[in-house]
Amino acid sequence: MDIVMDAEALNAFLGREFPQVAGEYRVERVDPDLLTARLTVGEAHLRPGGTISGPSIFALADLAIYCAILARIGPVALAVTTNASVDFMRKPEADRDLRAECRVLKLGRVLAVAEALIYSEGGTEPVARCSMTYSIPPKS
């Protein structure tokens, strides 16, 4: 599938459409096979025991998968997550950013499916695995 939005275009889109969170997230690289995105971990993402909250990990996976789909179909702000499945596997490092590596498995006319592995920056074993389905609105 051709890439129609690169990292710069995706980050500009996030800044326009999601100003509440765009400062925390950054798309770093968009290849035909892999998109990588980063969450700059701050105080608000931390939890007792020196870890990062589940919802922060979920939010990074959601954003990375959304961007991986937009990279292929263009800036469709109203694509929505219909299903998400997450395995939280290891404790992330509280003092490191999180990195998502995302692959699109299916891009249909109506539904897209993608998965993301989440790593602590510098780590080689994933802290979480996430798969999501997005519903793509019909072209008007």
Beta-sheet strands, E only, within 20-97: 25-30, 35-39, 46-47, 51-52, 80-88
126 binds a second copy (CB under 8 A): yes
Q: Are 117 and 101 in contact (CB under 8 A)?
A: yes
Measure the CA–CA gap between 114 and 28, rounded to whole angstroms.
18
Nearer to a second copy, 32 or 55 (CB): 55
33 makes contact with a second copy (CB under 8 A): no
60 phi, psi to nearest 5 deg: -65, -45
Number of chain positions touching a second copy (CB under 8 A): 43
Which of these segments, 22-30, 32-40, 52-60, 94-102, binds a second copy (CB under 8 A)? 52-60
Please answer whether residues 31 and 7 qualify as being in contact, where contact means their C-beta atoms are separated by less than 8 angstroms. no
Please say which residue, 2 or 43, places its beta carbon nearer to a second copy: 43
Residue type, 115: E
**Binding residues vs a second copy (CB under 8 A):** 17-18, 20, 43-44, 46-49, 53-56, 58-59, 62, 77-78, 80-91, 105-106, 110-111, 113, 115, 117, 125-126, 129, 131, 133, 135
